[in-house]
Amino acid sequence: MVPFNSYFRQATALQALGQTEEAKDVIARALKRNDLENDAGLVDRLIELVTDGEGFSNDEGVFKNMMLDQIINDRRSSERLSDIKGLWEKRCNEHLKKFKR
């Protein structure tokens, strides 16, 4: 079994080398594992990577556009994020619920 820290370290190294897309791939791959899908540290790291360190926006339009870009408009991101369930999906859904009236 590959420990959580190895994914985190690999993503950090890739990001430091300017390979942010590859860093996102590493974290997404980890979160697709059943034993890691609810790891808060990995989910936080993926959120950091996909939002350029800003975190999920509290502006409804900005958040929804970011999600559309990540899930639909950008094929690589869409493939990366498909099949990630667990805490990632829960956090995205909870943030989206903030905008429902």
Domain boundaries of the chain, sorted by first residue: 4-97
Measured at the CA of 96, the angle between CA 92 and CA 98, to 5 degrees, comes to: 125
d(CA 42, CA 8): 7
The pTM of this model reads 0.91
* Structural tokens at position 12: 């950090």
Q: Per residue of the chain (101 residues), give pLDDT as tens.
A: 556 689 999 999 999 999 999 999 999 999 999 999 999 999 999 999 999 999 999 999 999 999 999 888 899 999 999 899 999 999 999 999 999 86
Place of tokens 């190294």: 13
